[in-house]
Amino acid sequence: MRNKLIKDIKPTPLKDHHMPKNFNVSLKAYGGGGNTKSLNPKPKSLSPQSTKGFERQYKNIIDYIVRITYTIWEEKNIGYIYDTYSPECRVWDELGLQFGSEKIVSDTIHTINAFPDIRLFADEVIWAGDDKTSFHTSHRTIITGTNTGYSKFSKPTGKSVRLFCIANCVAKNNEIYYENVVYDTAGLIKQLGLDLNEIAKQIAKEGNIGPFAPNFKNSKPRRNIKKLKPISYEIPDKITNLRKFVHAVFDTIWNRRNFSAIKKVYSVNIEFEGSTSRKFKGLPKLKNFIISLIASFPDLALSIEDLYWMGNDKEGYLVSIRWGAIGTHKGNGIYGDPSNKECYLWGITQWEIKNNKIIKEWTGFNELAILIQILGEKK
């Protein structure tokens, strides 16, 4: 019997005491990431966890996330979505609000038809919460496949793709009822050999009649970020409060434009992977990426909308940060000549922190949707 729907569809933000203090329940303890071995762990490798309301086969939240992904995508048991997603779930992706498990089933069938050999490899799962409050998970996945079927973008191209996505899910009683997911859709389009700008124009033109989010133009999240003088935060040399550290880093670098702070919080050999196949190493390239994005939106104002982590000072931390921003496209750059259009940006960033430094970052953001907003016709 289907579980009773959760009436409050927007989850309550987690408190510090909801954050796991170690990595006993983690993807590494589960059997590693990036390979199918992590899908079938030996029982002794699983740390038990209270998962009241979930199917008894799942021993902890990592087990649940990895195995439902495998069942749906690898085994093609797409109907299992009906058991693991609430009928009225809200799923935000870069093209807007996807409402209900039926829409998720439809989109999954579409993707598997376009990429029949699709594979999804668990690369990392950051989690927090519990079975009473709800489990929050930030699942980074590596996706591979060959486009031998029709997609929403074109007829079959025969091209092979590799991209990553980050899905931030909130689950209770065996059902995901709230999700924010960032696919590298812009990177996918480019890897298919298609014209990214033309695709963006077409989506903007079709609005709610195309095979995308229903009523896309009206389903963009409305950010309410006050564009005032940014507060000055002191970034500590040693992390004593991770929540304050994350806010200080984002506000100092992104809102106050203090790019000199980058070397204070990031490792010299920082490894970065981001949307549209961005992959680089080192502080200079990270600084160039941040400056180039703000140069396109000179009045960019960013806020953190969801934050949780796992770990401790000795072993390090894995952090998930969902953020939103508003900016006017007034600058020259990768998005073409200034259009003077206000754009909504949002994304999910994951950090790996060791010895008070960010040593790895993964950032996925709604790059295709940015182009849709810029290239669409003015109302």
| Strand segments (E) across the chain | 85-93, 96-99, 119-130, 134-146, 160-172, 175-183, 266-274, 278-281, 301-312, 316-328, 342-354, 357-365
User: CA dist 301 to 114, 221, 251, 364, Å?
Assistant: 37, 15, 9, 18
Comparing CA positions, the residue from 265, 270, 268, 243 lying closest to residue 252 is: 265
> By the 8 A CB rule, do 59 and 48 touch?
yes
180 three-state secondary structure: strand
68-109, pLDDT tens digit by residue?
999 999 999 999 999 999 999 999 888 888 888 998 999 999
- Is residue 133 scored above 80 in pLDDT? yes
Q: Given pLDDT bands bounded at 50, 70 and 90, which one contains residue 376?
A: confident
Average pLDDT over the chain reads 88
What are the domain boundaries of the chain? 16-219, 242-375
Find the mean pLDDT for residues 35-54.
Answer: 70
Position 65 pLDDT exceeds 90? yes
Using DSSP's 3-state secondary structure scheme, residue 343 falls into strand
**Which residue blocks in the chain are alpha helix, DSSP H?**
27-30, 61-69, 81-84, 101-114, 185-191, 196-206, 216-219, 242-250, 262-265, 283-296, 367-375
pLDDT band for position 273 (cuts 50, 70, 90):
very high
In the block, which residue shows the tokens 């963006």?
Answer: 200
Residue 240 pLDDT greater than 80, yes or no: yes
Q: Any alpha helices (H) in 74-220, and if so which ranges?
A: 81-84, 101-114, 185-191, 196-206, 216-219
The rounded distance, in Å, linking the Cα atoms of 162 and 142 is 7
16-219 and 242-375: identical CATH topology: yes
Just give the CATH number of 242-375: 3.10.450.50
* 204 pLDDT more than 90: no
Compute the distance between CA of residue 185 and CA of residue 218 in angstroms, rounded to an integer.
20
Among 124, 155, 102, 107, smallest CA distance to 34 is for 124
Question: Is residue 213 scored above 60 in pLDDT?
Answer: no
How many Cα neighbours within 13 Å face the side chain of 218?
A: 4
Pairing of strands 85-93, 175-183: parallel
> What's the topology of domain 16-219?
Nuclear Transport Factor 2; Chain: A, (3.10.450)
- Strand, helix or coil at 367? helix
Q: What is the pLDDT of residue 216?
A: 46
- The mean pLDDT value for 20-28 works out to 94
